[in-house]
Structure 1
């Protein structure tokens, strides 16, 4: 059986409102075969499950889809828009997370998807506001949080909040200014780091893996790790899910930036994430429209650091 590898890029793009109820959100993944080659321009069959609480948690929703990969091996689908196997996407209580997306893929989707291979599980770090609000009331100030999205705190502005299983509050903070407007992902641009640098959400560990790679001298990650700003020194280059979460909540963050002396807005252009794709490519996000893409590591893009609490 042919093995397929799906790069962990569970990217939440938007919530779609249908009949007054939000019931879809977008997801992207890069498909590779057993030889680590991109599966391009091919119909693949996918079974997607939403798991609650852990990577081995209960499936609250399962559906199948048969998307077609593009020239870069990327598939883009809308969760909630496939053939339902079990559950009801519109009734998922997003406040009762954490939630994880499990993907099972058959590269020969034209035959109906009979040989699924479990290829990856990624945590949903951010749920679009409309989906969350449908069951939880508010995505920023509710749930007895001490902080709120858009708050100036911890050296920057909060753009994401969550509580762990013990009820302890955590968040992500974006720096007040860009660290570069023209920085390559890394000077090591043709050698793969591997799993330690390919997490979609663990930006700090990705960043440490980037600067620890043999031959490394400069990178977007190093700019962030070396940053000391507003009394904080634990900044890092965000993983692609962290960066996409920032984009999803940027309206509120931008309003906060406008009230902070010295803060600068993010530009409508590409920003590097710390999530590696392969030997030559890594993931970035276009803040002009939210598109996530794989681009060459030697291209100069913008850089904005984040930190966690």
Structure 2
């Protein structure tokens, strides 16, 4: 009896998902121990949505008391039963694989003797869209994730923010000893890797516990809206030029919260090493880059990704 029920439920489940808001249609044919259709009979059912695997965490559980029709068919709307645990509308269907587990009591109670589990191979578009509507999006100039947004990707959900103020107006790129760090990356997010390389290299080259541009950024902690952000880094040349592209919008946003606006013809250190003795700077006013001695004194503004 268990094998018959599981096979029928699996086939029907994978093809009967309806696009009704916040609900899924589920159908199954119920038979008794002898394989006979269980017609016009009230049965007890428990539905569980399992995450990741067929034995995974039950993120949602509800119960139903449907009545079979003359052909032994029951039809229920998952999401509209008597909730036991979880919130159906808050399941993020796009983030993982999900399975549906059905348990049935042929006598109409809650002593479930028949069970079956199958993967949800498709999920109604309406459920995906509902969840997507709750995902925040950002634009340049927003105050978010500890700083001012200066670049967002095509989704509007991820990007880069700069700190609200300079970490220094006059600091060196290195701690004092020349040496190749091989921090050569340039582009979006490249500054994060460069910063790690620079700090690791200074451990070998020697920093005498002196402060320098990459270390200033790495040790920065910003608390905003009761959240601590500690993963700041020294931007690449390309990332600094992204700030220049929208400098007016960014400065307006910074001024609105009482931060340090980017001043005209201010030179900012990038994380890009040019030679053993030189590193890249960017004129934040016009976006022009150049290479200068690592011992030169320039401004530092940390950024982070979100």
Please give the TM-score of this superposition, normalised by the length of structure 1: 0.49
Structure in which a larger fraction of residues adopt helix: 2
Structure in which a larger fraction of residues adopt strand: 1
* Higher Cα radius of gyration: 2
